[in-house]
Amino acid sequence: MTKQEVMTLKYGDIIYSMTYKNADGTPARYRVNGKIKTWKTRPADFRLPLKRGLYEYWALDPSNVGDFSL
């Protein structure tokens, strides 16, 4: 994914992990759980909160954006 693709995501959208799998081998699904945060002083950085299941919370940022796809 690119930063432009991440900027178009909104609350409730689903993205798929390319590294984490479910028990049956399908890609893990993550739901966007908030709005994207960007910084004026660091224009390349962003943070998008994600949720999986009931208790798992993640954040999509430039370090792990390559592990996810639409």
CA distances (Å), origin 53, targets 1, 29, 42, 50 = 22, 9, 31, 10
What integer pLDDT is reported at residue 27 of this predicted model? 95
| CATH number of domain containing 40 | 2.30.30
Token pair of 64 as six digits: 């792990």
| Tally of structural domains, the chain | 1
Q: Give the integer Cα–Cα distance in Å for 57 and 64.
A: 14
Q: Of 18, 19, 54, 17, nearest to 33 (Cα)? A: 54
Q: What residue numbers bound the domain in which 13 lies?
A: 3-69
Averages of pLDDT over each 10 residues, the chain, 70 residues: 90 94 94 94 94 94 92
The pTM of this model reads 0.86
